[in-house]
Structure 1
Amino acid sequence: MRPSKAERQSKILSELEHMPSLRVADLAQRLSVSTETIRRDLDEMTERGELNRTYGGAIRPAAEEPVVSVRHSLFVEERQRIARAVIPLIHDAKVLMIGSGATTVHLARRIAVEMKNITVITHSFGAATVLSINPTIRVVLAPGDYHATEGATVGAHTVEFFGRFHADVALIGASGLGPTGPSDALIDVATVYSAMCRSAARRIVVADHSKHGQIFAAVYATWPMIDTLVSDLPPERDLAEVLRRSGVGIQLAP
Protein backbone atom coordinates (compact mmCIF):
# COMPACT_ATOMS: atom_id res chain seq x y z
CA MET A 1 0.00 0.00 0.00
CA ARG A 2 1.29 3.42 -0.92
CA PRO A 3 1.90 5.82 1.98
CA SER A 4 -0.57 8.61 2.67
CA LYS A 5 0.41 12.26 2.23
CA ALA A 6 1.10 12.62 5.95
CA GLU A 7 3.24 9.48 5.94
CA ARG A 8 5.15 10.64 2.84
CA GLN A 9 5.90 14.03 4.29
CA SER A 10 6.93 12.55 7.63
CA LYS A 11 9.29 10.22 5.77
CA ILE A 12 10.75 13.16 3.81
CA LEU A 13 11.47 15.05 7.04
CA SER A 14 13.05 11.94 8.54
CA GLU A 15 15.31 11.56 5.50
CA LEU A 16 16.39 15.22 5.79
CA GLU A 17 17.72 14.49 9.27
CA HIS A 18 20.26 12.11 7.74
CA MET A 19 20.70 13.50 4.22
CA PRO A 20 20.62 17.32 4.11
CA SER A 21 19.90 17.24 0.35
CA LEU A 22 17.15 15.19 -1.32
CA ARG A 23 16.30 14.65 -5.00
CA VAL A 24 12.74 14.47 -6.34
CA ALA A 25 13.44 11.43 -8.50
CA ASP A 26 15.01 9.49 -5.62
CA LEU A 27 12.11 10.29 -3.28
CA ALA A 28 9.55 9.28 -5.89
CA GLN A 29 11.24 5.93 -6.37
CA ARG A 30 11.60 5.19 -2.65
CA LEU A 31 8.02 6.22 -1.84
CA SER A 32 6.49 4.60 -4.96
CA VAL A 33 4.74 7.76 -6.17
CA SER A 34 5.13 10.09 -9.14
CA THR A 35 7.62 12.92 -9.26
CA GLU A 36 4.69 15.36 -9.52
CA THR A 37 3.33 14.07 -6.20
CA ILE A 38 6.72 14.59 -4.56
CA ARG A 39 7.00 18.10 -5.99
CA ARG A 40 3.58 18.98 -4.52
CA ASP A 41 4.67 17.59 -1.16
CA LEU A 42 7.88 19.63 -1.22
CA ASP A 43 6.02 22.79 -2.19
CA GLU A 44 3.58 22.37 0.71
CA MET A 45 6.39 21.64 3.16
CA THR A 46 8.31 24.69 1.95
CA GLU A 47 5.27 26.88 2.63
CA ARG A 48 5.21 25.54 6.19
CA GLY A 49 8.92 26.27 6.62
CA GLU A 50 9.86 22.62 7.05
CA LEU A 51 12.38 22.59 4.20
CA ASN A 52 13.66 24.66 1.28
CA ARG A 53 13.06 23.76 -2.35
CA THR A 54 15.98 23.56 -4.75
CA TYR A 55 16.23 22.84 -8.45
CA GLY A 56 15.22 19.16 -8.56
CA GLY A 57 14.88 18.57 -4.84
CA ALA A 58 14.99 20.02 -1.35
CA ILE A 59 17.43 20.90 1.43
CA ARG A 60 17.17 21.57 5.14
CA PRO A 61 15.81 24.96 6.25
CA ALA A 62 18.34 27.74 5.80
CA ALA A 63 19.02 28.20 9.50
CA GLU A 64 20.22 24.61 9.73
CA GLU A 65 23.06 24.50 7.23
CA PRO A 66 25.03 21.28 7.84
CA VAL A 67 28.64 21.32 8.99
CA VAL A 68 31.36 21.42 6.35
CA SER A 69 32.16 17.69 6.68
CA VAL A 70 28.57 16.91 5.63
CA ARG A 71 28.52 19.58 2.91
CA HIS A 72 31.50 17.92 1.23
CA SER A 73 29.18 15.06 0.20
CA LEU A 74 26.49 17.32 -1.30
CA PHE A 75 26.33 18.67 -4.85
CA VAL A 76 29.74 17.16 -5.62
CA GLU A 77 29.35 17.19 -9.41
CA GLU A 78 28.01 20.75 -9.40
CA ARG A 79 30.89 21.97 -7.25
CA GLN A 80 33.46 20.26 -9.45
CA ARG A 81 31.96 21.99 -12.49
CA ILE A 82 32.04 25.34 -10.69
CA ALA A 83 35.70 24.81 -9.82
CA ARG A 84 36.60 24.13 -13.46
CA ALA A 85 34.70 27.23 -14.57
CA VAL A 86 36.64 29.49 -12.18
CA ILE A 87 40.13 28.65 -13.46
CA PRO A 88 39.93 30.69 -16.71
CA LEU A 89 38.82 33.71 -14.63
CA ILE A 90 41.94 33.64 -12.45
CA HIS A 91 44.61 32.33 -14.84
CA ASP A 92 46.68 35.52 -14.59
CA ALA A 93 46.46 35.92 -10.78
CA LYS A 94 49.58 35.62 -8.68
CA VAL A 95 48.09 36.04 -5.19
CA LEU A 96 44.78 34.46 -4.22
CA MET A 97 42.68 34.48 -1.06
CA ILE A 98 40.44 31.46 -0.50
CA GLY A 99 37.62 31.25 2.03
CA SER A 100 36.37 28.19 3.87
CA GLY A 101 33.60 25.84 2.78
CA ALA A 102 33.00 22.80 0.60
CA THR A 103 32.96 24.51 -2.81
CA THR A 104 36.20 26.36 -2.16
CA VAL A 105 37.96 23.09 -1.28
CA HIS A 106 36.91 21.70 -4.67
CA LEU A 107 38.27 24.90 -6.19
CA ALA A 108 41.55 24.64 -4.28
CA ARG A 109 41.98 21.09 -5.57
CA ARG A 110 41.50 22.32 -9.15
CA ILE A 111 43.94 25.19 -8.58
CA ALA A 112 46.53 22.71 -7.30
CA VAL A 113 46.25 20.75 -10.55
CA GLU A 114 46.08 23.59 -13.07
CA MET A 115 48.08 26.52 -11.62
CA LYS A 116 51.65 27.06 -10.48
CA ASN A 117 53.99 29.66 -9.01
CA ILE A 118 51.27 31.44 -7.07
CA THR A 119 50.65 32.38 -3.43
CA VAL A 120 47.41 31.39 -1.72
CA ILE A 121 46.34 32.98 1.57
CA THR A 122 43.59 31.01 3.29
CA HIS A 123 41.98 30.29 6.65
CA SER A 124 40.62 26.93 5.44
CA PHE A 125 42.50 23.84 6.58
CA GLY A 126 40.84 21.82 3.81
CA ALA A 127 41.99 24.23 1.10
CA ALA A 128 45.52 24.34 2.52
CA THR A 129 45.71 20.56 2.59
CA VAL A 130 44.70 19.97 -1.03
CA LEU A 131 46.93 22.82 -2.26
CA SER A 132 49.93 21.13 -0.65
CA ILE A 133 50.13 18.56 -3.45
CA ASN A 134 51.60 21.28 -5.70
CA PRO A 135 55.10 22.29 -4.51
CA THR A 136 55.09 25.43 -6.68
CA ILE A 137 52.17 26.93 -4.72
CA ARG A 138 53.04 28.85 -1.55
CA VAL A 139 50.28 28.46 1.03
CA VAL A 140 49.95 31.05 3.81
CA LEU A 141 47.59 29.87 6.56
CA ALA A 142 45.84 32.52 8.64
CA PRO A 143 46.09 32.32 12.45
CA GLY A 144 43.10 32.50 14.76
CA ASP A 145 40.62 30.43 16.74
CA TYR A 146 39.92 27.07 15.12
CA HIS A 147 36.25 26.63 14.21
CA ALA A 148 35.93 22.83 14.21
CA THR A 149 32.63 22.49 12.32
CA GLU A 150 33.88 24.79 9.55
CA GLY A 151 37.46 23.52 9.44
CA ALA A 152 38.85 27.06 9.44
CA THR A 153 40.31 29.78 11.64
CA VAL A 154 38.14 32.73 12.68
CA GLY A 155 38.23 35.65 15.09
CA ALA A 156 40.05 38.94 15.53
CA HIS A 157 43.50 37.54 14.73
CA THR A 158 42.25 36.06 11.45
CA VAL A 159 40.53 39.27 10.38
CA GLU A 160 43.58 41.39 11.24
CA PHE A 161 45.84 38.96 9.37
CA PHE A 162 43.93 39.26 6.08
CA GLY A 163 44.07 43.03 6.43
CA ARG A 164 47.86 42.92 6.11
CA PHE A 165 47.79 41.53 2.57
CA HIS A 166 46.57 42.44 -0.89
CA ALA A 167 45.37 39.74 -3.29
CA ASP A 168 44.59 39.79 -6.97
CA VAL A 169 41.44 37.74 -6.36
CA ALA A 170 39.40 36.61 -3.36
CA LEU A 171 37.49 33.35 -3.89
CA ILE A 172 34.66 33.03 -1.41
CA GLY A 173 31.74 30.69 -0.87
CA ALA A 174 28.35 31.52 0.62
CA SER A 175 25.55 29.88 2.56
CA GLY A 176 23.01 32.01 0.73
CA LEU A 177 22.64 34.46 -2.13
CA GLY A 178 19.96 36.95 -1.15
CA PRO A 179 18.74 40.29 -2.50
CA THR A 180 21.25 42.40 -0.53
CA GLY A 181 24.33 40.22 -1.00
CA PRO A 182 26.00 36.88 -0.29
CA SER A 183 25.59 35.69 3.30
CA ASP A 184 26.85 33.02 5.65
CA ALA A 185 25.20 31.06 8.44
CA LEU A 186 28.24 31.58 10.68
CA ILE A 187 28.79 35.18 11.79
CA ASP A 188 32.47 34.63 12.66
CA VAL A 189 33.14 33.17 9.22
CA ALA A 190 31.29 36.01 7.50
CA THR A 191 33.49 38.53 9.31
CA VAL A 192 36.56 36.85 7.80
CA TYR A 193 34.97 36.90 4.34
CA SER A 194 34.35 40.63 4.69
CA ALA A 195 38.05 41.16 5.48
CA MET A 196 39.01 39.16 2.38
CA CYS A 197 36.71 41.29 0.23
CA ARG A 198 38.40 44.46 1.48
CA SER A 199 41.86 43.07 0.71
CA ALA A 200 41.36 41.89 -2.88
CA ALA A 201 41.27 43.64 -6.23
CA ARG A 202 38.60 41.24 -7.51
CA ARG A 203 36.01 39.23 -5.59
CA ILE A 204 34.49 36.03 -6.96
CA VAL A 205 31.67 34.21 -5.16
CA VAL A 206 31.35 30.48 -5.86
CA ALA A 207 28.03 28.86 -4.94
CA ASP A 208 25.82 26.09 -6.30
CA HIS A 209 22.14 26.55 -7.15
CA SER A 210 20.90 25.46 -3.70
CA LYS A 211 22.17 28.80 -2.35
CA HIS A 212 20.09 30.91 -4.77
CA GLY A 213 17.52 33.01 -2.96
CA GLN A 214 18.63 31.84 0.49
CA ILE A 215 19.21 34.41 3.25
CA PHE A 216 21.42 33.72 6.27
CA ALA A 217 22.35 35.65 9.37
CA ALA A 218 25.46 37.49 8.21
CA VAL A 219 25.67 39.36 4.90
CA TYR A 220 29.40 39.73 4.31
CA ALA A 221 29.29 41.98 1.22
CA THR A 222 26.83 43.97 -0.85
CA TRP A 223 26.40 42.87 -4.46
CA PRO A 224 28.13 45.95 -5.94
CA MET A 225 31.28 44.79 -4.10
CA ILE A 226 31.24 41.42 -5.93
CA ASP A 227 32.70 41.15 -9.42
CA THR A 228 31.55 37.69 -10.46
CA LEU A 229 29.22 34.91 -9.32
CA VAL A 230 30.11 31.43 -10.54
CA SER A 231 27.31 28.88 -10.22
CA ASP A 232 26.02 25.74 -11.90
CA LEU A 233 22.59 27.14 -12.81
CA PRO A 234 21.37 30.65 -13.64
CA PRO A 235 19.73 32.56 -10.77
CA GLU A 236 15.99 32.99 -10.88
CA ARG A 237 14.53 36.23 -12.20
CA ASP A 238 14.50 38.39 -9.05
CA LEU A 239 18.05 37.54 -8.01
CA ALA A 240 19.28 37.77 -11.59
CA GLU A 241 17.86 41.30 -11.84
CA VAL A 242 19.58 42.37 -8.62
CA LEU A 243 22.89 41.02 -9.90
CA ARG A 244 22.43 42.80 -13.23
CA ARG A 245 21.72 46.14 -11.57
CA SER A 246 24.73 45.68 -9.28
CA GLY A 247 27.09 44.95 -12.17
CA VAL A 248 27.86 41.39 -11.05
CA GLY A 249 28.99 39.11 -13.84
CA ILE A 250 27.43 35.63 -13.92
CA GLN A 251 29.62 32.73 -15.03
CA LEU A 252 27.81 29.42 -15.44
CA ALA A 253 29.65 26.13 -15.08
CA PRO A 254 29.24 24.13 -18.32
Structure 2
Amino acid sequence: MSRKKTTRHKAIIDQLSVNPSMRVSELSDALGVTTETIRRDLEELAAQQLINRTYGGALLRQPAEPVLSERHKANVEERAMIGKAAAPLLKGARILMMGSGATTVQVAKRIAFEMNNITVVTHSFGVATALSLNPTIEVVLAPGVYHAGEGAVHGAQTLRFLSDYSVDWAILGASGISPAGPTDALMDAAEVYACMLRQSSRHMIVADHSKFDRMATARFSQWQDIDVLVTDIAPQGPLGQALASGGVDIQLAG
Protein backbone atom coordinates (compact mmCIF):
# COMPACT_ATOMS: atom_id res chain seq x y z
CA MET A 1 0.00 0.00 0.00
CA SER A 2 1.34 3.43 -0.94
CA ARG A 3 2.17 5.94 1.77
CA LYS A 4 -0.45 8.33 0.32
CA LYS A 5 -3.18 5.68 0.58
CA THR A 6 -2.10 4.73 4.12
CA THR A 7 -2.29 8.37 5.16
CA ARG A 8 -5.71 8.70 3.55
CA HIS A 9 -7.03 5.57 5.28
CA LYS A 10 -5.86 6.91 8.63
CA ALA A 11 -7.53 10.23 7.88
CA ILE A 12 -10.82 8.45 7.13
CA ILE A 13 -10.67 6.58 10.45
CA ASP A 14 -9.87 9.88 12.22
CA GLN A 15 -12.89 11.51 10.57
CA LEU A 16 -15.17 8.64 11.58
CA SER A 17 -13.83 8.73 15.13
CA VAL A 18 -15.19 12.27 15.44
CA ASN A 19 -18.33 11.75 13.32
CA PRO A 20 -19.04 7.99 13.46
CA SER A 21 -21.46 8.04 10.51
CA MET A 22 -20.41 9.96 7.38
CA ARG A 23 -21.44 9.99 3.74
CA VAL A 24 -19.03 9.52 0.84
CA SER A 25 -19.49 13.14 -0.27
CA GLU A 26 -18.64 14.42 3.24
CA LEU A 27 -15.45 12.36 3.38
CA SER A 28 -14.55 13.47 -0.14
CA ASP A 29 -14.88 17.14 0.83
CA ALA A 30 -13.00 16.66 4.11
CA LEU A 31 -10.04 14.88 2.49
CA GLY A 32 -10.02 16.77 -0.82
CA VAL A 33 -10.19 13.68 -3.05
CA THR A 34 -12.78 12.32 -5.48
CA THR A 35 -15.80 10.32 -4.37
CA GLU A 36 -14.53 7.39 -6.46
CA THR A 37 -11.29 7.34 -4.44
CA ILE A 38 -13.25 7.47 -1.17
CA ARG A 39 -15.47 4.57 -2.28
CA ARG A 40 -12.42 2.42 -3.05
CA ASP A 41 -10.86 3.35 0.30
CA LEU A 42 -14.06 2.47 2.17
CA GLU A 43 -14.27 -0.92 0.46
CA GLU A 44 -10.68 -1.67 1.49
CA LEU A 45 -11.27 -0.53 5.08
CA ALA A 46 -14.43 -2.62 5.24
CA ALA A 47 -12.49 -5.67 4.01
CA GLN A 48 -10.07 -5.09 6.92
CA GLN A 49 -13.13 -4.95 9.26
CA LEU A 50 -12.21 -1.46 10.41
CA ILE A 51 -15.50 0.08 9.25
CA ASN A 52 -18.96 -0.97 8.13
CA ARG A 53 -20.23 0.21 4.77
CA THR A 54 -23.66 1.83 4.73
CA TYR A 55 -25.77 3.05 1.84
CA GLY A 56 -23.82 6.05 0.58
CA GLY A 57 -21.30 6.14 3.38
CA ALA A 58 -19.64 4.34 6.30
CA LEU A 59 -19.85 3.65 10.03
CA LEU A 60 -16.91 3.23 12.35
CA ARG A 61 -16.89 -0.40 13.42
CA GLN A 62 -17.64 -1.02 17.10
CA PRO A 63 -14.61 -2.56 18.84
CA ALA A 64 -14.99 -5.64 21.01
CA GLU A 65 -17.27 -4.72 23.87
CA PRO A 66 -15.86 -4.76 27.41
CA VAL A 67 -17.16 -7.41 29.78
CA LEU A 68 -20.28 -6.51 31.73
CA SER A 69 -18.42 -5.75 34.98
CA GLU A 70 -16.47 -3.02 33.14
CA ARG A 71 -19.55 -1.65 31.35
CA HIS A 72 -21.29 -1.17 34.70
CA LYS A 73 -18.66 1.48 35.51
CA ALA A 74 -19.31 3.62 32.40
CA ASN A 75 -22.09 6.19 31.88
CA VAL A 76 -23.64 5.19 35.21
CA GLU A 77 -25.68 8.38 35.60
CA GLU A 78 -27.05 8.19 32.04
CA ARG A 79 -28.04 4.54 32.45
CA ALA A 80 -29.75 5.22 35.77
CA MET A 81 -31.73 8.04 34.13
CA ILE A 82 -32.71 5.73 31.29
CA GLY A 83 -33.90 3.13 33.78
CA LYS A 84 -35.99 5.74 35.57
CA ALA A 85 -37.55 6.86 32.27
CA ALA A 86 -38.20 3.34 30.97
CA ALA A 87 -40.04 1.79 33.92
CA PRO A 88 -43.19 4.00 33.78
CA LEU A 89 -43.67 3.08 30.10
CA LEU A 90 -44.29 -0.52 31.18
CA LYS A 91 -47.30 0.37 33.31
CA GLY A 92 -50.06 -2.20 32.95
CA ALA A 93 -47.78 -4.98 31.72
CA ARG A 94 -48.01 -8.32 33.50
CA ILE A 95 -45.27 -10.36 31.82
CA LEU A 96 -41.92 -9.02 30.55
CA MET A 97 -38.81 -10.39 28.88
CA MET A 98 -35.50 -8.69 29.59
CA GLY A 99 -32.12 -9.04 27.91
CA SER A 100 -28.71 -8.74 29.55
CA GLY A 101 -26.52 -5.65 29.85
CA ALA A 102 -25.60 -2.77 32.12
CA THR A 103 -28.53 -0.60 31.00
CA THR A 104 -31.15 -3.33 31.35
CA VAL A 105 -29.91 -3.94 34.90
CA GLN A 106 -30.67 -0.28 35.64
CA VAL A 107 -34.15 -0.74 34.17
CA ALA A 108 -34.61 -3.86 36.33
CA LYS A 109 -33.73 -1.85 39.45
CA ARG A 110 -36.43 0.69 38.64
CA ILE A 111 -38.95 -2.06 37.84
CA ALA A 112 -38.23 -3.61 41.26
CA PHE A 113 -38.91 -0.23 42.85
CA GLU A 114 -42.01 0.78 40.87
CA MET A 115 -43.86 -2.39 39.80
CA ASN A 116 -45.51 -5.23 41.70
CA ASN A 117 -47.08 -8.61 40.99
CA ILE A 118 -45.50 -9.14 37.58
CA THR A 119 -43.51 -11.94 35.96
CA VAL A 120 -40.18 -11.31 34.26
CA VAL A 121 -38.49 -13.87 32.00
CA THR A 122 -34.76 -13.25 31.56
CA HIS A 123 -31.48 -14.91 30.61
CA SER A 124 -29.47 -12.41 32.67
CA PHE A 125 -28.24 -13.11 36.19
CA GLY A 126 -27.75 -9.38 36.82
CA VAL A 127 -31.33 -8.58 35.83
CA ALA A 128 -32.64 -11.47 37.97
CA THR A 129 -30.64 -10.27 40.98
CA ALA A 130 -31.92 -6.69 40.65
CA LEU A 131 -35.52 -7.88 40.39
CA SER A 132 -35.18 -10.18 43.40
CA LEU A 133 -35.22 -7.11 45.66
CA ASN A 134 -39.01 -7.07 45.15
CA PRO A 135 -40.63 -10.27 46.52
CA THR A 136 -43.84 -9.69 44.54
CA ILE A 137 -41.99 -10.08 41.22
CA GLU A 138 -41.72 -13.63 39.92
CA VAL A 139 -38.43 -14.09 38.08
CA VAL A 140 -38.19 -16.89 35.51
CA LEU A 141 -34.54 -17.56 34.65
CA ALA A 142 -33.88 -19.24 31.29
CA PRO A 143 -31.49 -22.21 31.05
CA GLY A 144 -28.55 -22.34 28.67
CA VAL A 145 -24.80 -22.07 28.26
CA TYR A 146 -23.37 -19.51 30.68
CA HIS A 147 -21.30 -16.63 29.26
CA ALA A 148 -19.19 -15.35 32.16
CA GLY A 149 -18.28 -12.02 30.57
CA GLU A 150 -21.95 -11.16 29.96
CA GLY A 151 -23.41 -12.77 33.08
CA ALA A 152 -26.10 -14.43 30.97
CA VAL A 153 -27.01 -17.69 29.25
CA HIS A 154 -27.29 -18.26 25.50
CA GLY A 155 -27.69 -21.11 23.07
CA ALA A 156 -30.28 -23.50 21.63
CA GLN A 157 -31.70 -24.47 25.01
CA THR A 158 -32.26 -20.81 25.87
CA LEU A 159 -34.06 -20.17 22.57
CA ARG A 160 -36.34 -23.21 22.98
CA PHE A 161 -37.23 -22.13 26.52
CA LEU A 162 -38.05 -18.54 25.54
CA SER A 163 -40.19 -19.70 22.62
CA ASP A 164 -42.72 -21.16 25.07
CA TYR A 165 -43.64 -17.71 26.43
CA SER A 166 -45.78 -14.86 25.11
CA VAL A 167 -45.17 -11.55 26.90
CA ASP A 168 -46.29 -7.94 26.91
CA TRP A 169 -42.89 -6.26 26.49
CA ALA A 170 -39.33 -7.16 25.53
CA ILE A 171 -36.76 -4.76 27.05
CA LEU A 172 -33.35 -5.03 25.41
CA GLY A 173 -30.03 -3.22 25.39
CA ALA A 174 -27.64 -2.99 22.43
CA SER A 175 -23.91 -2.78 21.76
CA GLY A 176 -24.52 -0.52 18.77
CA ILE A 177 -27.36 1.70 17.56
CA SER A 178 -27.02 2.13 13.80
CA PRO A 179 -29.37 3.40 11.08
CA ALA A 180 -29.79 -0.24 10.02
CA GLY A 181 -31.07 -1.26 13.47
CA PRO A 182 -29.90 -2.27 16.96
CA THR A 183 -26.89 -4.62 17.04
CA ASP A 184 -24.97 -6.67 19.57
CA ALA A 185 -21.31 -7.64 19.84
CA LEU A 186 -22.23 -11.27 20.67
CA MET A 187 -23.96 -13.28 17.96
CA ASP A 188 -25.42 -15.64 20.58
CA ALA A 189 -26.91 -12.70 22.49
CA ALA A 190 -28.36 -11.27 19.28
CA GLU A 191 -30.14 -14.60 18.67
CA VAL A 192 -31.65 -14.44 22.16
CA TYR A 193 -32.78 -10.84 21.62
CA ALA A 194 -34.38 -11.65 18.26
CA CYS A 195 -36.25 -14.52 19.92
CA MET A 196 -37.47 -12.25 22.73
CA LEU A 197 -38.78 -9.77 20.16
CA ARG A 198 -40.71 -12.53 18.39
CA GLN A 199 -42.35 -13.60 21.65
CA SER A 200 -43.44 -10.12 22.78
CA SER A 201 -46.25 -7.74 21.82
CA ARG A 202 -44.22 -4.56 22.27
CA HIS A 203 -40.51 -3.88 21.94
CA MET A 204 -38.23 -1.46 23.81
CA ILE A 205 -34.53 -0.70 23.30
CA VAL A 206 -32.64 1.04 26.12
CA ALA A 207 -29.24 2.55 25.26
CA ASP A 208 -27.29 5.72 25.98
CA HIS A 209 -25.83 8.01 23.32
CA SER A 210 -22.39 6.35 23.37
CA LYS A 211 -23.95 3.52 21.33
CA PHE A 212 -25.18 5.84 18.56
CA ASP A 213 -23.83 5.35 15.03
CA ARG A 214 -22.03 2.17 16.02
CA MET A 215 -22.40 -1.14 14.21
CA ALA A 216 -21.62 -4.24 16.27
CA THR A 217 -21.32 -7.80 14.95
CA ALA A 218 -24.96 -8.93 14.73
CA ARG A 219 -28.14 -6.98 14.01
CA PHE A 220 -31.13 -8.41 15.84
CA SER A 221 -33.93 -6.16 14.56
CA GLN A 222 -34.95 -3.48 12.10
CA TRP A 223 -36.25 -0.18 13.45
CA GLN A 224 -39.69 -0.75 12.00
CA ASP A 225 -40.09 -3.61 14.50
CA ILE A 226 -39.13 -1.51 17.55
CA ASP A 227 -41.77 0.52 19.39
CA VAL A 228 -39.66 2.64 21.77
CA LEU A 229 -36.05 3.74 22.17
CA VAL A 230 -35.28 5.12 25.63
CA THR A 231 -32.05 7.12 25.60
CA ASP A 232 -30.42 10.22 27.04
CA ILE A 233 -29.84 12.38 23.94
CA ALA A 234 -31.97 12.74 20.82
CA PRO A 235 -30.39 10.91 17.83
CA GLN A 236 -29.47 13.14 14.89
CA GLY A 237 -28.51 12.75 11.22
CA PRO A 238 -29.01 9.45 9.39
CA LEU A 239 -29.72 7.62 12.65
CA GLY A 240 -32.45 10.06 13.61
CA GLN A 241 -33.93 9.79 10.12
CA ALA A 242 -33.90 5.98 10.26
CA LEU A 243 -35.68 5.98 13.62
CA ALA A 244 -38.30 8.40 12.33
CA SER A 245 -38.85 6.32 9.18
CA GLY A 246 -39.25 3.22 11.36
CA GLY A 247 -41.89 4.90 13.49
CA VAL A 248 -39.84 4.52 16.69
CA ASP A 249 -41.03 6.55 19.68
CA ILE A 250 -37.99 8.31 21.19
CA GLN A 251 -38.24 8.75 24.96
CA LEU A 252 -35.53 10.96 26.45
CA ALA A 253 -34.36 10.36 30.00
CA GLY A 254 -33.98 13.32 32.32
Task: Report TM bin, short chain.
Answer: 0.7 to 0.9
Q: 1:50 to 1:109 in 2, by over 3 A?
A: farther
TM-score (norm 2): 0.77
Query: What's the CA shift for 1:160?
Result: 1.1
Equivalent in the alignment of 1:99? 99
- Local SS of the residue matching 2:205: strand
Give identity over the alignment, percent: 51
Q: 1:134 to 1:107 in 2, by over 3 A?
A: same
**Deviation per CA, 1:216-254, whole angstroms, max 9, x where unpaired?**
110001111100100000112211111111111100001
Amino acid at match of 2:190: A
Equivalent in the alignment of 1:180? 180
Q: How many residues align?
A: 207
Query: What's the CA shift for 1:51?
Result: 8.8
**Deviation per CA, 1:180-227, whole angstroms, max 9, x where unpaired?**
110000000000000000000000000000011100110001111100
**Deviation per CA, 1:123-182, whole angstroms, max 9, x where unpaired?**
000000111111000000000000110000000011111111011000000000112110
Superposition map of 1:75-114 within 5 A: 75-114=75-114
Superposition map of 1:131-170 within 5 A: 131-170=131-170
Superposition map of 1:185-200 within 5 A: 185-200=185-200
8 Å CA contact retained: 1:79, 1:106: yes
Amino acid at match of 1:160: R
Superposition map of 1:1-254 within 5 A: 47-48=12-13, 52-53=17-18, 62-254=62-254
8 Å CA contact retained: 1:180, 1:222: yes
Amino acid at match of 1:48: I
TM-score (norm 1): 0.77
Query: What's the CA shift for 1:52?
Result: 4.3
- Which aligned segments of 4 or more residues in structure 1 are displaced greater than 2 angstroms? 44-55
CA distance in 1, matches of 2:15, 2:130: 36
- Local SS of the residue matching 1:107: helix
- Local SS of the residue matching 1:63: coil
Amino acid at match of 1:135: P
**Deviation per CA, 1:23-58, whole angstroms, max 9, x where unpaired?**
xxxxxxxxxxxxxxxxxxxxx988436994589xxx
**Deviation per CA, 1:48-101, whole angstroms, max 9, x where unpaired?**
36994589xxxx961221111100000000000000111221011110100000
CA distance in 2, matches of 1:122, 1:54: 35
Amino acid at match of 2:154: V
Q: 1:86 to 1:148 in 2, by over 3 A?
A: same
Query: Structure 2, unaligned stretches of length 5 or more?
Result: 1-8, 21-59
Equivalent in the alignment of 1:29? none
